[in-house]
Amino acid sequence: MSDADKQKEIDRVSGVETTGHEWDGLKELNNPAPRWWLWVFLLCCIWAVGYWVVYPAWPTLSGHTGGKFGWTQYSQLKSSQAEITGRRIAYLDKMNGLALADIKKSQDLYEFARAGGAVAFKENCAACHGTGAQGNAVRGYPNLNDDDWLWGGDLDAIYKTIRVGVNSGHDDQRGTQMPSFGRDGLLTSSQISDVAKYVAELHKGDAAAITEAHTRGAKVFAENCAACHGPSGEGSTEMGAPRLNDQIWLWGGDEKSIHNTVANAHLGVMPMWEHRLDDDTVKMLAIYVHSLGGGK
Ligand code: HEC
Ligand code: HEC
């Protein structure tokens, strides 16, 4: 059969001419495309031509056709960045010169500061304090989510700690001075064992077993430690002396860890941020840390 003959063949069931294409006995009918489809196709063609005219479309030898609208991804990015910066500046302007307590009172500013603080925290603080601010109990980095504060947990105290740091070399630094009772020969090794036992049992309060070592330890504590850590181990935010009668520890709370701490004091270093971050960022960080759950 010639090609022309095949084309003229009419399908018996539908009465439609076939195209002459056949696969294993299946023949293709020569139906015209539906009208709606043609219209959509035509509209798409017109749309495409319009698109070429107004948007960048075709490559040319020196680059590409620019389009009547002059649109580029770069210009779009620039305008959305300008909008964000504009909003940021408006908030920063409002924040400027406001006391932390006033920022906290304004719902808008507070949310803005908290979000900004969260970002700055991930960038600057998470390396030591952890991304969730949970701290690191092996290296003396405090958990910032709890309400146990070395230096005070109200907004102004937190702000100051971040601004000046601890043992940081800042003129106005928060400095710590826990003596090394073992290394410097201030207490004998058995006195240190006694006081370590006593301190490890402090959180039990009246329920602690009053052994001879415990009683001796209590005496060593009253004479050597209470001045900074308080008579019942409640700590002092003025000295940055941690509370010892709870179960939150910077350097570990078992008898052996406490023994080590008393023999060789570890002094934590928290960098100052005053000259590294601008004051707005330090404020936002204080608000963020305060909001973590332990703020007073
Ligand atoms: C190099 C590690 C390091 C970095 C980085 C660091 N910190 Fe600290 N931070 C410490 C240490 C160590 C202490 C505990 C100091 C002490 O023993 O008194 C501390 C203490 C604090 C305290 C006081 C907690 C309390 O209980 O009073 C706050 C608040 C704090 N950091 C916030 C921050 C913020 C906010 C940042 C980021 C801008 C930051 N830290 C970055 C190591 C770090
Ligand atoms: C001059 C004040 C001062 C005196 C005296 C002092 N401490 Fe401290 N102690 C501190 C400070 C400040 C820290 C926090 C050190 C740091 O992490 O920077 C500390 C930390 C500790 C810690 C670690 C707490 C933790 O959470 O891991 C223990 C335990 C401790 N002291 C026990 C004692 C005992 C026991 C004595 C008495 C034998 C004593 N201290 C005397 C100031 C003092």
| pLDDT tens for each residue of 52-95 | 999 998 999 988 888 888 888 888 999 999 999 998 898 988 88
Give residues with Cβ within 8 angstroms of 88, minimum separation 6: none
Cβ count within 10 A of residue 116: 21
d(C-alpha 179, C-alpha 51), whole Å: 76
Q: How far apart are CA 23 and CA 21, in angstroms?
A: 7
Residue 50: predicted pLDDT: 94
Minimum-distance ligand to the CA of 198? 2
Other Cβ atoms within 10 Å of 87 Cβ, number: 11
Closest ligand, as measured to the CA of 128: 1
Token pair recorded at residue 180: 């090394």
Q: What is the pLDDT of residues 164-180, one digit of tens each?
A: 999 999 999 999 989 99
Q: How many CA atoms lie within 13 A of 257 on its CB side?
A: 12
The pLDDT of residue 2 is: 55
For residue 3, what pLDDT is reported?
57
Confirm if 240 and 249 have CB atoms less than 8 A apart. Answer: no
Contact 180, 234 (CB under 8 A): no
Any atom of ligand 1 within 6 Å of the Cβ of 261: no
- 7 pLDDT tier (thresholds 50, 70, 90): low
Determine if ligand 1 sits within 6 Å of the CB of residue 220.
no
Q: How confident is the model at residue 272 (pLDDT cuts 50, 70, 90)?
A: very high
Q: Is 162 in the pocket of ligand 1 (CB under 6 A)?
A: yes
CA distance linking residue 182 with residue 193, whole number of Å: 10
Nearest to 89 by CA among 62, 116, 126: 116
Pocket of ligand 2 (CB under 6 A): 140, 176-179, 181, 195, 199, 224-225, 227-229, 239-242, 244, 249-251, 258, 261-262, 266-268
The Cα–Cα gap between 166 and 271 comes to 7
What are the pLDDT digits (tens) for 114-159? Answer: 999 999 999 999 999 999 999 887 788 999 998 899 999 999 999 9
Contact call for residues 247 and 155 (beta carbons, < 8 A): no
Question: Cα(89) to centroid of ligand 1, in Å?
Answer: 28
Q: Find out whether 235 and 242 touch, Cβ atoms under 8 Å.
A: yes
Residue 295 pLDDT greater than 80, yes or no:
no
Distance (Å) of CA 290 to CA 18, 145, 195, 293: 79, 8, 34, 7
Q: Which class for 105: exposed (0-12), middle (13-18), buried (19 or more C-beta within 10 A)?
A: exposed
Q: How far is the CA of 1 from the centre of ligand 2 (A)?
A: 105
* Average pLDDT of the segment spanning 13-42: 90
198 Cα–ligand 2 center, Å: 14
Number of residues written out for the chain: 296
Nearest to 228 by CA among 169, 176, 190, 296: 176
